[in-house]
Structure 1
Amino acid sequence: MDDEGAGTVRLLWGPHPKPARGPRPGLDLGRIGRAGIEIADAEGLGGVSMQRVAALLGVTKMALYRYVPGKAEVIALMVDAAIGRPPEESASGAPQESALPGWRERLDGWARQLFDVFRRHPWLLEATVGPRVMGPAELGWMERAVSALDGTGLTGAERMDSAVLLTGHVRVIAQHARAAAPTSGVEAQLGSVLGAVLAEHGERFPALTAALASTRDAGGQDEAWEFGLQRILDGLAVLIGRRSD
């Protein structure tokens, strides 16, 4: 791990020594992270800078450097604070036509609450790309997902991969939702874009044209999120069943 990575680890995980120079500390890492979140929620991640964060906190940029080495570390603090503590294990927004297995209910609720986090803070999609140091809150979410599959017969690698697969679905739908018009859903916007093209070239894409027409007949409801989530959980149920056999 390079020096920058080691510095981020210390900021996220501690210990947090107070600045050795200058006047009595008037800031803490929590306030710095929250200030960055306020800017990013309003303007996107591109609006965050050391100067902007310092100004919002009422200090000079040089004073801010006494607490964090640079913007990358501020963003790391922002990510962990915005993601927050993992959800309660009983939380689930799944349809309740029938009782769900414990692991399935827990992962269903986990995925829905993670999706809500990305909807509240869309800049997280950009800030959580690529290799980086994760903080205790973010790892707490991963711990909750992996532990939900304890006792199912899946290997440790399979439980990790399951959490990554669910996270990927959450991210993809959240990314599309971020780009969609506020008054329309993901599928509604996609249908609008495709409709104009297929109106002239539909004979070249008969299956796609028929599928789009079916979506319109169903009222154009957005089902990509629910369909994908339930199919992932169905697939896990099949694999867990095989392990039980």
Structure 2
Amino acid sequence: MRRVAAQLGVTKMALYRYVPGKAELVALMVETAIGPYPPVKVRHSGWREQLEEWAGQLFDVFRRHPWALDATVGPRIMGPAELSWLEHAVSALDGTGLSGAERMDAAALLVGHVRGITQQARATGPAGNPEAQLGALLGDLMQAHGERFPALTAALTSAARSHGQDQAWEFGLQRILDGLAALIDRRVR
């Protein structure tokens, strides 16, 4: 709070007139940075397309504001803008036969995937390709010890043939949505 007050050119006590503490300040920062879920440009008819769009939008927000990854962990104060994101994900699954708890869990699962991929991208820098970097790091180890790890060696060799193409985002997103589709299909029967 002291540092924020100094950057704003006010006293710490003056800042407390607007926010009661750090948790509320962080909540306001997240609320401002993330903003409400953007207006839908293309109306998707199916839940899957809606969630693909939602996850991509959230991924973009976390890439623009990587500090929000740390600020949005665990139980905390959430504002209406942030809640609009959750509302959009949960409402995309209306009419699918999933319970409210399952729709919330689906949103949490998608957020986890978005967070994980964003954190990998943050760790590798703006031009980084996490899979290519991992392949390069493990390449020397596999040359020296590949006989001890035959499955990993074969997987890395296969990945190298695709030039370390980063497929983790799309692969993970589609597998999550495939799993939801299988569950929804079982409920419809």
TM-score class normalised by the smaller sequence:
over 0.9
| Count of paired positions | 189
SS at match of 1:158: helix
Q: Which has the higher contact order (CA 8 A, sep 6+)?
A: 2
In the TM superposition, residue 90 of structure 1 has moved relative to its aligned partner by 4.9
SS at match of 2:175: helix
Unaligned runs of 5+ in 1: 1-49, 93-99
Q: Deviations over 1:211-238 (max 9, x none)?
A: 1111110121100001000111111111
1:138 is aligned to 82
Distance in 2 (CA, whole Å) between partners of 1:80 and 1:179 is 24
Residue identity in the other structure for 2:120? H
1:8 is aligned to none
Residue pair 1:115, 1:170 contacting (<8 A) in 2 also: yes
Distance in 1 (CA, whole Å) between partners of 2:163 and 2:133 is 13
TM-score by length of 1: 0.72
Q: How do 1:117-196 and structure 2 match up within 5 A?
A: 117-196=61-140
Distance 1:224 1:156, change over 3 A: same
Cα RMSD of the aligned pairs, angstroms, is 1.7
Given candidates 7, 20, 36, the residue that maps to 1:69 is 20
Matched, 1:230 2:181: no
Work out the percentage of aligned pairs sharing the same amino acid.
70
Residue pair 1:154, 1:240 contacting (<8 A) in 2 also: yes
Structure having the higher Rg? 1
Distance in 2 (CA, whole Å) between partners of 1:91 and 1:165 is 24
Residue pair 1:154, 1:243 contacting (<8 A) in 2 also: yes
2:9 is aligned to 58
TM-score by length of 2: 0.92
**Structure number with higher helix proportion:** 2
